[in-house]
Structure 1
Amino acid sequence: MTTTDVPESWQETVEAEREKKARFFRDGPRSPLPPDLRGEEFPGLDYYDPDPAYRYELDLHEHDDPEEVTVGTTAEGERTYHRWGEFRFDLGGDRVTLQAYRPTDGSDRLWVPFRDRTSGAETYGAGRYLDLEPEHHRTPEGRWVVDFNRAYNPTCAYNPAYECPLVPAENWLDARIEAGERDFPGPHGADE
């Protein structure tokens, strides 16, 4: 299912979330931006226009025995996750699968990282993330709301001082996802 059940206030909610993030990045004391890019120097954040075609309500096909996987990071470190399940959906006329991971700390949050054909050209080269929380991203029927309009850049896209997990190769898509956050227009974007 894609756009059939999009709430009327959906677009306004997406735009309000984007504005809140921009204010935090520009003025927040815990902004991930280097100090020289905050305040009046803040170049803004860039997004694709909200598009309900990139909002899905999907079943999570949980793996019988979630495998522990090690994911490399931008600083040559490692993070460990459980490969919890997969989302299957149609994208650009093709059937695609994205793995969903759970942290090994016992959290029930799902991490859905991905790279697509916009990565490195229009969006951050190392890929983007979706975080799904059961209390916020589930329908009353138990399906997950996978909304690529909420895809965001990892903190290392804004500041190389951060260490970010890399997108596993199994979540590299041979399709374009023209939704969510574009590459950061500041000096720490994908071209660095």
Structure 2
Amino acid sequence: MSAPTDWEATLEQQRREKDDYFGDNPQSPIPDAERPDFEGLRYYPPDENYRFELDLHEHVEKERVVVATTTDGEREYLRWGEFRLQVDGDEQTLQAYRRSADDPGLWVPFRDETSDEETYGAGRYLDLHAEEDRLGDRWVVDFNLAYNPFCAYSARYECPMVPVENWLDVAIEGGEKTYESSEGYETE
């Protein structure tokens, strides 16, 4: 087995820190009763095939999009641009959103063929930060960093749903898998 690359080592460190936070922090989304037995989240192994350096094809008109939430609420985003990528030989397009015009980051929610099977049924998210996730004019879109929204851990959270335009017809076997609650909370 070869030594991990820098991005793999960084990813593993981030995962350990998240697991520590989820297990110990009072602000953790893991239900209080489950924290003493919490041993960490389940993840796909790091896979460089799910790391992409992509151009953001920015939309000329930044359309306002109303996104439903898990508690029948709504949130507004701007459809900022799209990423075009190939996964397993299939061309895929993902819309990237911003909360406001002056937000430098991007929110990329998605569902894929693992949703409802190995990953959270409502989908997962990627947050891209302008300072950390850019290489010149390109963005690093790393599905190894895909995470479950807090509503995957507890019904007390409200989370935006993944717009249908970001439902992929391929499996993305990167990032977090489904959390299995011992309290019987359905995460699908």
Shift in Å, 1:95? 0.6
TM-score (norm 1): 0.92
Alignment deviations for residues 79-120 of structure 1 (CA, whole Å, 9 cap, x no partner): 000000000010111111000000037322100000000000
- Corresponding residue for 1:169? 164
- Corresponding residue for 1:108? 104
Gaps of 5+ in 2: none
Please give the secondary structure, in 2, of the residue aligned with 1:64. coil
Point out the more displaced range, 143-152 or 7-16.
7-16
Contact 1:137–1:144 (8 Å) recurs in 2: yes
State how far apart, in whole Å, the 1-side matches of 2:15 and 2:83 are: 25
TM-score (norm 2): 0.94
Point out the more displaced range, 97-106 or 63-72.
97-106
Aligned Cα RMSD in Å?
Answer: 1.3
Shift in Å, 1:122? 0.2
- Runs (4+) of structure 1 moved beyond 3 Å? none
Give the AA of the match of 1:149: N
State how far apart, in whole Å, the 1-side matches of 2:75 and 2:148 are: 18
Give the AA of the match of 1:24: Y
Q: Give the total of aligned pairs.
A: 183
Pairwise mapping of residues 142-157 of structure 1 onto structure 2 (< 5 A)?
A: 142-157=137-152
Q: In 2 relative to 1, CA 88–105 (structure 1 residues): closer, same or farther, beyond 3 Å?
A: closer
Shift in Å, 1:34? 1.4
State how far apart, in whole Å, the 2-side matches of 1:78 and 1:138 are: 30
Q: In 2 relative to 1, CA 64–105 (structure 1 residues): closer, same or farther, beyond 3 Å?
A: closer
